[in-house]
């Protein structure tokens, strides 16, 4: 049965190929909107009838029929037809940061570029800079991206994608009765924003049944090796999975060893050596006597340390902080009282304000802000002052009939090229919450982009800078700006920085979160949700915040609404 992500990927590819073929904007957008709607569904779309699929917002009867055909036959005729015209090598170029379907089409038309090799030759020969919109910096970025593995050759995937795979895989493995304990370790457990492979650690008294269970996972495409204590497989989507099985008395040591970064583990091994001990994935030993290994707590305690949360295990000072008793009490999802960046059908959201409010209340939030786009974002039908006032009336109506949650009137206002904002101050002054974001012209110089952000921060009505770097993981590089200067001004003006929880943004980065905390700048964890289901993305934002050492006191939307209002 096809997963929602697989269906959505086909729809996205059709949208990209239609754009490459010069199709009109609305038809292209219809396929991308449908892909996003499929990803948002809490149920398996493959189990729905065509009529039920037709009821999903953003999918009409024609598309519902095509999706049903895809689910039943494994292919969609339009996808097959377009794939014959546009080779996969060409389509894969859209994954290179700085390129999208429009630019790929331009390169194919003007320079006859149809794959990575063609693109690299053109970049190295200087031909790219002859095309309007490309320059030396574009060539440099493209060559840097081409030096990384192509899709299917060790490409990293988003944490959210890895989570979906890991959930199915561990559910399958837990059917094996021999397994006593099990957890996915590595960069996944540290909640890195992208994941290269999955390392699964399990304890069992019998090892072979565990290995057999992994080999029987339906998505396994190839078994690279299967021994007594370790099996390595490659899944159909190219992700490598390692299963390591140890005796129960070594489980904690193995989990600890395969969770920490290389630098973290080296630091711990040096500590053990200084104590005359040996630390390995099998336990902590003095000579040949095991002192600890069954649990992570036991191993850390034997080294004179408290347990260190996995998200911190990067050797960024966490071991020193643990030794001194200064580990932060990291923020948790239950600390969040509100969500201050959401969208509705007034712009590019897919649900009404009331539906969004009901879902926010359902997951335990006390308040949320509707922050649709301002007019500059024309593709999303951004709001003019007049349309914004119409929205306020609806917010008041919903608030009057919906108890148990407070609705805030907000906006995601665009930061224009000169740093001015897309709406007048007299409009912004009437809002409860203002998110200011960069969406266009993101390739300015470091000085230009810093000035642009600083000017926006100095506007007295701006509460937070949304997704500050503008990056899209795997697709768009971050804006080049002086983080120290931006944080200095943000501290002066009392402007917060957003931790955007969208899986392909996770922006600010973990290290930027740390820098903001040290600079005394408050942060806001926001879902940037476009549908009720996307409120669940707050978990990813919390993961990112934890990697940045953030505590509840560092994050504004852990406050009560009364306290949040008082800050303004």
CATH number of the domain encompassing residue 39: 1.10.150.110
End-of-domain residue from the set 89, 115, 146:
146
Distances (CA, A) of 123 to 97, 115, 135, 141, 373: 14, 12, 10, 10, 36
Q: By the 8 A CB rule, do 231 and 239 touch?
A: no
Burial class of residue 463, CB neighbours in 10 A (0-12, 13-18, 19+): buried
Q: What pLDDT was estimated at residue 153?
A: 46
Burial class of residue 275, CB neighbours in 10 A (0-12, 13-18, 19+): middle
Position of tokens 């203002």?
A: 434
Q: What pLDDT was estimated at residue 490?
A: 98
Residues 354-370 as b/e (b if ≥16 CB within 10 A, e otherwise) read: bbbbbbbbeeebbbbbb
Rounded Cα distance between 455 and 539, Å, is 31
Q: Is the dihedral of CA 64, 69, 75, 78 positive or negative?
A: negative
343, 299: one domain: no
| Sheet (strand 433-437) strand order | 338-339, 367-370, 406-414, 433-437, 464-466, 496-500, 523-526
Closest by CA position to 497, among listed 445, 440, 438: 438
Closest by CA position to 504, among listed 238, 193, 198: 193
Q: What is the mean pLDDT of residues 234-251?
A: 93
Q: What pLDDT was estimated at residue 150?
A: 52
Contacts of 3 (CB under 8 A, 6+ apart): 44, 46, 164
pLDDT surpasses 50 at 151:
no
Residue 229: other Cβ atoms inside 10 A? 13
Q: pTM higher than 0.95, yes or no?
A: no
Q: What pLDDT was estimated at residue 328?
A: 97
Q: Which of 89-98, 330-339, 393-402, 441-450 has the lowest mean pLDDT?
A: 89-98
273, 400: one domain: no
Highest mean pLDDT among 8-17, 298-307, 378-387: 298-307
Mean pLDDT estimate for the chain: 91
Contacts of 346 (CB under 8 A, 6+ apart): 353, 370, 372, 381, 383, 387, 391
End-of-domain residue from the set 89, 120, 146:
146
Q: Report if residue 251 sits inside a domain.
A: no
pLDDT surpasses 50 at 152:
no
Closest by CA position to 22, among listed 88, 104, 78, 77: 104
Q: Which of 54-63, 140-149, 513-522, 556-565 has the lowest mean pLDDT?
A: 140-149
Q: What is the mean pLDDT of residues 14-29?
A: 84
Q: By the 8 A CB rule, do 241 and 257 touch?
A: no
Q: Report if residue 256 sits inside a domain.
A: no
Rounded Cα distance between 519 and 103, Å, is 39
Which residue(s) pair with 285 in the sheet?
278, 290
Rounded Cα distance between 219 and 236, Å, is 6
Q: Report if residue 255 sits inside a domain.
A: no
Q: How confident is the model at residue 6 (pLDDT cuts 50, 70, 90)?
A: confident
Q: What pLDDT was estimated at residue 258?
A: 97
Q: By the 8 A CB rule, do 498 and 435 touch?
A: yes
- Give residue 558's domain range: 333-567
> What percentage of residues in the chain have a pLDDT greater than 90?
68
447, 501: one domain: yes
358, 395: one domain: yes
Question: Is residue 239 helix, strand or coil?
Answer: coil
∠ CA 245-257-196, nearest 5°, is 85
Q: By the 8 A CB rule, do 526 and 500 touch?
A: yes
pLDDT surpasses 60 at 52:
yes
Q: By the 8 A CB rule, do 507 and 516 touch?
A: no
DSSP state of 557: G
Q: Is the dihedral of CA 267, 268, 271, 273 positive or negative?
A: negative
Q: What pLDDT was estimated at residue 330?
A: 98
95, 171: one domain: no
120, 32: one domain: yes
Q: Which of 97-101, 355-359, 488-492 has the lowest mean pLDDT?
A: 97-101
Q: Report if residue 466 sits inside a domain.
A: yes
402, 469: one domain: yes
Q: Report if residue 436 sits inside a domain.
A: yes
Q: By the 8 A CB rule, do 159 and 540 touch?
A: yes
End-of-domain residue from the set 246, 276, 301:
246
Q: What is the mean pLDDT of residues 468-473?
A: 92
Q: What pLDDT was estimated at residue 149?
A: 54
319, 358: one domain: no
Q: Report if residue 284 sits inside a domain.
A: yes
CATH of the domain at 285: 3.30.210.10
Q: How confident is the model at residue 30 (pLDDT cuts 50, 70, 90)?
A: confident
288, 415: one domain: no
79, 181: one domain: no
Q: Tell me the CB-side half-sphere exposure of residue 302, using CA atoms within 13 A.
A: 25
Q: How confident is the model at residue 98 (pLDDT cuts 50, 70, 90)?
A: low
Q: What is the mean pLDDT of residues 115-137?
A: 79
Instruction: State the helix-helix crossing angle for 510-519 and 538-547, rounded to 10 degrees.
Output: 70
Q: How confident is the model at residue 341 (pLDDT cuts 50, 70, 90)?
A: very high
211, 278: one domain: no
pLDDT surpasses 90 at 16:
no
178, 235: one domain: yes
Q: Tell me the CB-side half-sphere exposure of residue 284, using CA atoms within 13 A.
A: 29
Q: What is the mean pLDDT of residues 465-469?
A: 97
Q: How confident is the model at residue 90 (pLDDT cuts 50, 70, 90)?
A: confident
Rounded Cα distance between 216 and 239, Å, is 16
Q: Report if residue 287 sits inside a domain.
A: yes
Q: What is the mean pLDDT of residues 96-116?
A: 77
Q: Report if residue 359 sits inside a domain.
A: yes
pLDDT surpasses 90 at 179:
yes
Q: What pLDDT was estimated at residue 154?
A: 54
pLDDT surpasses 50 at 437:
yes
pLDDT surpasses 50 at 228:
yes
Rounded Cα distance between 354 and 370, Å, is 10
Domain total in the chain: 4
Q: What pLDDT was estimated at residue 100?
A: 73
- What's phi and psi for 421, nearest 5 deg? -100, 160
Q: Is the dihedral of CA 343, 348, 352, 355 positive or negative?
A: negative
Q: What is the mean pLDDT of residues 536-541?
A: 96
CATH of the domain at 369: 3.20.20.140
Rounded Cα distance between 351 and 58, Å, is 10
| End-to-end CA gap in the chain | 51
pLDDT per position as a tens digit, 440-461: 999 899 999 999 999 999 999 9
pLDDT per position as a tens digit, 272-314: 999 999 999 999 999 989 999 999 999 999 999 999 999 999 9
């Amino acid at each position: 049965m096809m997963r929602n992500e697989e269906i959505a990927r086909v729809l996205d590819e059709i949208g990209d190929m239609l754009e490459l073929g010069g199709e009109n904007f609305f038809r292209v957008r219809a396929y991308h909107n449908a892909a996003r709607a499929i990803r948002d569904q809490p149920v398996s779309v493959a189990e729905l009838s065509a009529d039920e699929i037709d009821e999903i917002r953003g999918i009409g009867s024609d598309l519902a029929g095509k999706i049903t055909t895809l689910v039943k036959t494994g292919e969609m005729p339009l996808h097959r037809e377009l794939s014959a015209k546009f080779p996969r090598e060409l389509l894969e170029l859209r994954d290179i940061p700085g390129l999208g379907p429009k630019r790929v089409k331009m390169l194919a038309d003007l320079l006859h570029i149809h794959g990575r090799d063609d693109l690299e030759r053109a970049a190295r020969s200087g031909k790219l800079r002859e095309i309007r919109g490309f320059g030396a910096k574009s060539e440099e970025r493209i060559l840097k991206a081409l030096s990384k593995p192509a899709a299917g050759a060790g490409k990293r995937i988003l944490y959210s994608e890895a989570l979906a795979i890991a959930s199915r895989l561990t559910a399958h493995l837990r059917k094996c009765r021999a397994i006593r304990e099990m957890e996915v370790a590595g960069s996944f457990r540290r909640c890195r924003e992208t994941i290269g492979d999955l390392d699964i650690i399990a304890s069992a008294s019998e090892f072979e049944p565990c290995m057999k269970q992994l080999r029987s996972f339906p998505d396994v495409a190839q078994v690279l090796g299967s021994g007594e204590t370790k099996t390595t497989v490659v899944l159909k989507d190219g992700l490598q999975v390692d299963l390591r099985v140890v005796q129960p008395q070594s489980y904690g040591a193995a989990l600890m060893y395969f969770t920490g970064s290389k630098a973290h583990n080296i630091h711990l091994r040096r500590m053990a050596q200084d104590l005359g001990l040996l630390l390995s994935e099998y336990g902590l030993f003095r000579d040949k006597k095991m002192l600890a290994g069954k649990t992570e707590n036991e191993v850390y305690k034997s080294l004179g340390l408290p347990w260190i949360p996995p998200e911190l295990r990067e050797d960024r000072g966490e071991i020193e902080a643990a030794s001194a008793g200064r580990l932060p009490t990291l923020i948790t999802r239950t600390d969040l009282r509100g969500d201050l960046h959401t969208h509705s059908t007034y712009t590019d959201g897919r649900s009404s304000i009331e539906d969004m409010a009901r879902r926010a209340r359902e997951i335990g939030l006390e308040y949320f802000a509707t922050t649709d786009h301002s007019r500059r974002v024309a593709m999303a039908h951004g709001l003019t002052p007049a349309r914004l006032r119409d929205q306020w009336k609806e917010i008041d109506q919903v608030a009057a009939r919906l108890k148990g949650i407070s609705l805030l009137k907000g906006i995601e206002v665009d930061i224009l090229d000169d740093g001015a904002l897309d709406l007048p101050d007299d409009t912004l002054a009437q809002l409860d919450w203002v998110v200011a974001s960069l969406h266009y012209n993101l390739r300015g110089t470091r000085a230009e982009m810093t000035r642009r952000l600083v000017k926006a921060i100095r506007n007295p009505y701006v509460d937070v800078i949304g997704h500050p770097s503008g990056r899209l993981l795997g697709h768009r590089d971050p804006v080049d700006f002086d983080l120290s200067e931006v944080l200095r001004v943000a501290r002066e003006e009392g402007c917060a920085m957003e931790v955007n929880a969208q899986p392909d943004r996770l922006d600010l980065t973990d290290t930027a979160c740390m820098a903001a905390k040290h600079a005394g700048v408050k942060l806001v964890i926001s879902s940037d949700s476009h549908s009720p289901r996307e409120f669940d993305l707050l978990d990813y934002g919390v993961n990112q915040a934890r990697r940045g050492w953030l505590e509840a006191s560092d994050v504004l939307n852990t406050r009560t609404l009364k306290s949040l209002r008082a800050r303004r």
